[in-house]
Structure 1
Amino acid sequence: MGVFRRSGSRIRLEDYAVESFPVTAGHDDKWLENTKAALASLRHRAQLTGPVVLVLPAHLVLTKLVKAPPVAAAKLRKIIQFEAAQGIPYDLADVVWDSVIASEETDGLMVLLAAAKLAAATSLCAAAQAAGFEPRLILPAPLATLASFRLTPSVSDGPTLVLNLGERSTTLLLVEAGRFFLRTLPFGGNGANRQIASRQDGGREEAGTANAAEALAARLTQEITRTVLHFRRPGGLTPPAHVLLTGGGAQLAGLAEALTGRLRVPVGQLDVLAGIQIANDAAPGGATC
């Protein structure tokens, strides 16, 4: 949890606090229970209060890209409403949903629909309110990843693929100039996270970590290839010139090297802190950016 303020054209981190979930939290459907406990602990320990933006994990969010013709705003809203009713596999009364323009082409728009079950969103807001926070916005994790990337100074020219390796899902975010395409994969870095935790405890050998990195890289490469080909046809997307990793699974030793070997493009880490200012009293050891 972080406290941010605008400082000119940049974002400034004023304060933060961290509460870790159990490593097995993603495997026993106790995500909400652990979230409630974490929020209560943060409120008590860090004395943070006030309005909050909540980020909903990618595995709880349905995203879908739809194409819309270049029409007036009022008509576009009706088209998006129709596409939501057709493309979201639940009654719209049972979900919360919104949309954002992902790209503008000469022949129309690509619109991202994002939806979550109303029960999940309501429970998350209730957990935040019970801990003393006032939810103002729920942001899907893939869009939070996009916001983080846009805050980060560009590593080089050309289209970028950002991989956010969560516990239960992986976000593939393709960004090129002012447009983006994204896809959520139904697997995450859970095995990688267990490898990391075991290595920190001294319980696993390096060979096991290397095998995990190669296996994850192979699976990701297949999905990346499919995704780029899928979006290349309707959107004219250029293959990524480089890849940035983030999320818990990105810490897996050897993963960046394994992906570099398979994708034949540079692979690095998404340095979110490079794009924000950090208050002296918020940085460990007085470090600043």
Structure 2
Amino acid sequence: MARTLAGIDIGNGSIRAAEIADSGGRKTPVLTHYAEMTLPEGAVVGGEVREPNTVAAAVRSLWTRGGFTTRHVVLGIGGERVLARDFTVRRAPLAQIRESLQFEARDVLPMAIADAVLDFYPKSEGVSEQGPVVTGLLIAAPKDVVLGNVRAVQAAGLTAADVDLIPFALTRALVTRAGVAGTVAVVDIGAETTTTLVVRDGVVQFVRIVHTGGNAVTGEILKELDSDPATAESIKRELGLRLTDAETADGRQAVEVIANVVRGQLAAIRNTIAYYQNGHADEPVTRVLLTGGGAHLKGLATALGELTRLPVEHVDAFSAVKLGHRLERAGLNGDARHMAVAVGLALGTAA
């Protein structure tokens, strides 16, 4: 019988899950189940579970709604408190490197080793004055954040089989499985965070997570236009950055309010790509892959392309998986634009 796993993406305003069947020798994994639902405000903040009972109840409802068959899940960890930085260690088997991190990384982290969950993601090998070395990304997540998410799904009756970094899940779903070669930037604009990562031939080279996203735009509309949340969200979706779509003075003012926020967000993305480019002139980023709910703001892709002087394209996880018969018949129980993280998490340990 095929083994199945589900990836769970617990965000600030919603929770999403995707179930992937064991490939069974097939080239393309099969997405058998997908569902999403909203979370009450304050249940999750900055990627951290603040109300575990609320989140557990939502997970139980999601499992029923989506008809999931597995209770073994892979959790995604992200947010501004999760660190990913370049780190070089003496060459050794990966298991040995990971065991040594509690000693090797003690002096480079802004948190106590005892309070962190550590991992190492190798990128390349080389030779230093001390001998052979491995360079990679040192990952550090606050232990309370990881355990909070794990306990929430356990309270829902699920088993956390693994915990994975959200940028790695995005890479799997949008780059590696999709067969994207060369050096690309992947930009995921969520409700509260924007994640920018540079990937070269399927290997993550650089990660930056910034605490800003679609909700920052909505919040500025609320403040500047004295609007209510539903109206502010509607204005954001309908107008975006397109001044030509604004037929009234109020509409033009709204576009300017939106643009003031988005300019800062796009500048942060451009600066992240430029920072990488400055140190890797021989490996230039050739295009930007855009995903996440906030990425679909009207005019955003065009503005980002003009700012970075790179081709920008919207991508989703459908290039990494094919739909199972159940989803082909009934359709997705949710928005496909938001599914990349959940799918990538499930792909991480799908055989």
The TM-score normalised by the length of structure 1 is 0.82
Matched, 1:231 2:272: no
Partner Cα separation in structure 1 for residue 104 and residue 282 of structure 2: 23
Matched, 1:175 2:199: yes
Matched, 1:6 2:22: yes
- Report the alpha carbon displacement of residue 59 of structure 1 after superposing the two structures with TM: 3.0
SS of residue matched to 2:149: helix
Aligned residues with identical type, % of pairs: 28
Contact 2:89 2:135 in 1 (8 A): yes
- In structure 1, list runs of 5 or more residues that go unmatched: none
Partner Cα separation in structure 2 for residue 282 and residue 211 of structure 1: 41
Deviations 1:146-178 (A, max 9, x none): 2222345356x6421111112222111111225
Q: How does 1:39-78 map to 2 (within 5 A)?
A: 39-48=59-68, 49-68=70-89, 71-73=91-93, 76=97
Matching residue of 2:106: 85
Contact 1:3 1:15 in 2 (8 A): yes
Matched, 1:38 2:58: yes
SS of residue matched to 1:128: helix
Higher relative contact order (CA 8 A, sep 6+): 2
- Report the alpha carbon displacement of residue 199 of structure 1 after superposing the two structures with TM: 6.7
- Report the alpha carbon displacement of residue 278 of structure 1 after superposing the two structures with TM: 0.6
The TM-score normalised by the length of structure 2 is 0.69
Matched, 1:249 2:269: no
The structure 2 residue matched to 1:163, chosen from 160, 169, 187, is 187
The alignment covers a number of residue pairs equal to 285
Partner Cα separation in structure 1 for residue 118 and residue 81 of structure 2: 12
- In structure 2, list runs of 5 or more residues that go unmatched: 1-16, 222-228, 240-251, 333-351
Matching residue of 1:266: 311
RMSD after superposition = 3.4
Matched, 1:146 2:171: yes
The structure 2 residue matched to 1:116, chosen from 141, 147, 158, is 141
The residue type equivalent to 2:156 in the other structure is A
SS of residue matched to 1:85: coil
Contact 1:51 1:135 in 2 (8 A): yes
- Report the alpha carbon displacement of residue 77 of structure 1 after superposing the two structures with TM: 5.0
